[in-house]
Structure 1
Amino acid sequence: MNTYFITGATGVLGSAVVRELLADSQNQLVLLVRAENNAALQKRAAWLVASLEINTVTANRINFVQGDVEQEKLGLSPNEFAKLGERVTHIIHSAASVRMNHSLERARLAAVTATEHVIQLAQLGWKNSSLKKMEVVSTVGVGGKRKEPLPEGWLEEPRDFHNTYEQSKAEAESVLRVEAERGLPITVHRPSMIVGNSLTGYILHFQIFYFLLEFITGRRTRGVIPDISERYVDTIPVDYVARVVSWSSRNPLTIGRVLHLCAGQKNATSLDKARILAILKFREKGLFVPYEHILPVPWFKLLVSSILPFLPRKTRRSVNVLPIFLNYTENQVFTNTETCEILKNSGFILPCPDEFLGPVIDYYLSATYSV
């Protein structure tokens, strides 16, 4: 019997990992959930069980625990923390705050401090000889503004970042590297931009890619869009990432490694193709798509900065994130050769955007705009 301790279970990836792990009846799950009180905890637990369509028998293998990765001992009492360290065999740390405009102090609390607290549990489990493996979800964004392809390994070189999220996750990786070199059985997973299930398009929450869809179709900018004809974005379906994380947790081969769960240069998503497909599907749904006015990217940025002060507060908040989205239309390159080599022998096939983009957009439209 395995006992998995999971953070971020109510998030996009964490929930998919939960679903994947519950498929094995030998797995017991302890889910750390942030909640104000026990009533709020039970409400969030019921919501997750309903969202994942987990039956009663399977749900009995889940133990929901009220806590917080940003607090010492994960917000648990010393006794609760000690008992957890005795029984946990696997740790999957996927909790994260994906806001790009946090202050650096706040971003570090969510990434670095939280990672340090989860490591404390891992160290206790390792000392008790109960812990077998620890999986930590990072991001390919740790490469920041690095122009060269991001290598599949620890990265310590000085570099600039697009935002505080990238910087704080990079700093968290530095902490993990020290612990890995000391012997903790850690594997770091760097996914790219996560989208919905490769077959059904299902996703628990809509994240950056879905805002990009509204942006590049001109629905958020009255048809004025930057020239994205030669731009790509690295997207990866959530079910693929969840399967790899689950598999890795059972595989000592990945200890000490950094896995790139991304499309890579050859399979990156063409934003122009995504835009054309999205426009087609929006219109099939009977949704308005404005006539497009395409501007060179520098002109578009200048236009946004010029009109921002004159917009209503609510609109200003929406438009203010456009430069952040533009960062994700830059052609960043993430290598995944070594990771794919490791995974292919276990039957993993890298999903193709031409196959999963349709279901991903369809699910978004049906969930967001259904009458």
Structure 2
Amino acid sequence: GFLGSHLVRELLDRTDAEVWCLVRAESPEHGHVRIVESMRRFGSWRDTGVDRIVAVPGDLGQDRLGLDEDRFAELAERVDAIVHNGARVNHIETYSRLHRPNVLATEELLRLAATVRLKPLHFVSTGSVLTDEVALAEGRPYIAAEDDILEAERVGGSGYVQSKWVGEAVARLAGERGLPVSIYRPGLITGDVVTGACGSDDAFWNMVRAIVALRKIPDIATGTVPMVPVNYVARALVQLAMNPETWGGTFHLVSPRRVSMRDLETRLRAYGYDLETVTVPEFGEALFTTAEKLSAVGDDSLMRAMLVSGQFATGLAEIETFSDDRTRAYLEGSGVDCPVVDTEVLGRYVEYYARTGFFRQLDDADRKDDR
């Protein structure tokens, strides 16, 4: 995946270790090809260190991670540390469908970390586990600290977020029993500031995709967004993971700056996308109608945006702030700083999404309501 490819790059650059990567594949050779293709796609590929990537065919949704007993035992013997970034990322699926790959897989990795000898496990969660739906609904500002844990009933309705909340709970239980477990909560991860390469799974960029496709932008899109570049998330995580003094802590990988939606709109227009400002109901109706029409002919490019559209206003809310005091204290003097996402970087993101076909404007026939 997107962050995973950058974590592999950082581990290769900052350590001399072999990096064993669990990957869905038919064979180690096929798995290696998939890893390289992913790194090329997301701008993290360089020829150096390729001989230290070991592909391990497996499946997060299966017992023992899809490994036979001998392979699992070999990993338990040879692995020195585990970075658990693997998950099924889908904001429209239910918790029950995500429980096995996102929760049971975490339990299997904790078992791996406790077998033969104790190994540190670095669990990648999400800042969304601290999105207090009650506070947001009430418009009540709050600061989410690194040691905060939301009560289950206050966690957002996304099955993905719920599965990460439970994964954290399981990881903390293992930590209380003596396993060195660290938890990392990234914010809204955005693209590589140098290459512009971006991911395509998160709700925010799928909404921007819909804005481009429909040639309409809702008038609510005037706030700011706390974008944190993938470069910083991967570099900071590896820097922290390499320091035994941090093991057992919880860290927020977030940006101290927010990006203006007006600046993003300006970059979209500068690229050549025509956008009409409309009301939220008008945008919602256009999105629903067009997504349904395209889906009927096998094009689901807007379905994710339609299904998460209710989160859009929440995603722009400025009443939620993430504190990262512990993270910054440990990173001080390391040279690991969060890059600024300015208008030039936003332009690289827009260009990447356009070049890869993720952004495309629909013609009038696609956007017309034929009902």
What is the TM-score with the length of structure 1 in the denominator?
Answer: 0.82
Q: Which amino acid aligns with 1:134?
A: L
After TM superposition, give the deviation of residue 193 of structure 1 in Å.
1.3
Partner residue in 1 for 2:17: 27
**Alignment correspondent of 1:321:** 307
Give the stretch that moved more between structures: 68-77 or 184-193: 68-77
CA contact (8 A) 1:308 1:320 kept: no
Q: Is the 8 A contact 2:190 2:230 kept in 1?
A: yes
Amino acid at match of 1:155: I
Q: Contact between 1:193 and 1:208, CA under 8 Å: does it hold in 2?
A: no
Change (3 A) 1:361 1:303: closer
Aligned AA (1:257): G
CA displacement, residues 253-274 of structure 1 (integer Å, 9 cap, x when unaligned): 211211110114xx12222222
**Structure 2 unaligned blocks of 5 or more:** 136-141, 360-371
Residues 1:80 and 2:71 are matched in the alignment: yes
Q: Spell out, residue by residue over 1:289-310, the C-alpha distance to the aligned partner (whole angstroms, 9 max, x if none).
A: 13x1331x4x357646985797
RMSD over aligned CA atoms reads: 2.9
- 1:5 equivalent in structure 2: none
User: Which residues of 2 match residues 155-166 of structure 1 at below 5 A?
Assistant: 155-158=149-152, 159-166=154-161
Question: In structure 2, do the counterparts of structure 1 residues 293 and 134 end up closer, same or farther at CA, with 3 Å as the change threshold?
Answer: same
Distance 1:273 1:146, change over 3 A: farther
Inter-partner Cα distance in structure 1 for 2:209 and 2:40: 28
| 2:294 is equivalent to residue 294 of structure 1 | no
Task: Please say if 1:349 is aligned against 2:337.
Answer: yes
Counterpart amino acid of residue 235 in structure 1:
M
Could you say if the C-alpha distance between residues 105 and 36 of structure 1 is closer, same or farther in structure 2, counting changes exceeding 3 Å?
farther
Cα separation, 2, equivalents of 1:249 and 1:273: 34
> Contact between 1:136 and 1:189, CA under 8 Å: does it hold in 2?
yes
> What amino acid is aligned across from residue 294 of structure 1 in structure 2?
V
Report the more deviating stretch, 350-359 or 249-258.
350-359
Distance in 2 between the 1:224 and 1:361 partners? 15
Q: Which of these residues, 167, 186, 193, is aligned with residue 191 of structure 1?
A: 186
- 1:179-219 CA distance string (max 9 Å, x none): 1122211111111111111222234656444333334xx32
Alpha-carbon deviations, 1:113-150, whole Å to 9, x = none? Answer: 111111111111xx425x2x221110001013253222
Contact 2:225–2:261 (8 Å) recurs in 1: yes
Between the aligned partners of 1:365 and 1:309, the Cα distance in structure 2 is: 19
Matching residue's letter, 1:107: L
Q: In the alignment, does 2:260 pair up with 1:270?
A: yes
* Mapping of residues 50-199 of structure 1, within 5 Å: 51=41, 52-55=44-47, 58-124=49-115, 127-129=116-118, 131=119, 133-144=120-131, 145=133, 147=135, 148-158=142-152, 159-199=154-194
Whole-angstrom CA distance in 2 between matches of 1:214 and 1:310: 16
Change (3 A) 1:98 1:49: closer
Between the aligned residues of both structures, percent identity stands at 28
For 2:213, give the aligned amino acid. Answer: R
Change (3 A) 1:300 1:96: farther
1:156 Cα deviation after fit: 4.4
Superposed displacement of residue 350, structure 1:
2.4
Q: Distance in 1 between matches of 2:114 and 2:49?
A: 29
Hey, what's the Cα distance between the residues in 1 that align with 2:339 and 2:33?
35
Distance 1:369 1:304, change over 3 A: closer
Amino acid at match of 2:168: E
Change (3 A) 1:333 1:224: same
> Counterpart in 2 of 1:258?
250
**C-alpha distance 47-232 of structure 1, shift in aligned 2 (>3 A):** same
Number of aligned residues: 343
Q: Which amino acid aligns with 1:183?
A: G
Q: Bigger CA drift: 357-366 or 238-247? A: 357-366
Alpha-carbon spacing, 1:304–1:178, altered in 2? closer, same or farther (3 Å): farther
CA distance in 2, matches of 1:189, 1:260: 6
Match of 1:335 in 2: 323
In 2 relative to 1, CA 222–305 (structure 1 residues): closer, same or farther, beyond 3 Å? closer
**Structure 1 pair 271–65 and aligned structure 2 pair: CA distance change class (3 A):** same
Q: Give the TM-score taking structure 2 as reference length.
A: 0.82
Q: Deviations over 1:30-86 (max 9, x none)?
A: 11111245664354245346554443x622211111111222211111111111111
Residue in structure 1 matched with residue 366 of structure 2 by the alignment: none
Which one of 31, 47, 51 corresponds to residue 41 of structure 1?
31
- What SS does structure 2 have at the residue aligned with 1:70? coil
For residues 220-259 of structure 1, the aligned pairs below 5 Å read 220-229=213-222, 231-259=223-251
1:196 and 1:202 in contact (8 A); partners too: yes
SS at match of 2:9: helix
Q: How many angstroms apart in 1 are the aligned matches of 2:238 and 2:290?
A: 44
In the alignment, the residues of structure 2 paired with residue 212 and residue 328 of structure 1 have an alpha-carbon distance, to the nearest angstrom, of 10
Change in CA separation of 1:104 and 1:293 when aligned onto 2, cut-off 3 Å: same
**Distance in 1 between the 2:227 and 2:2 partners?**
14
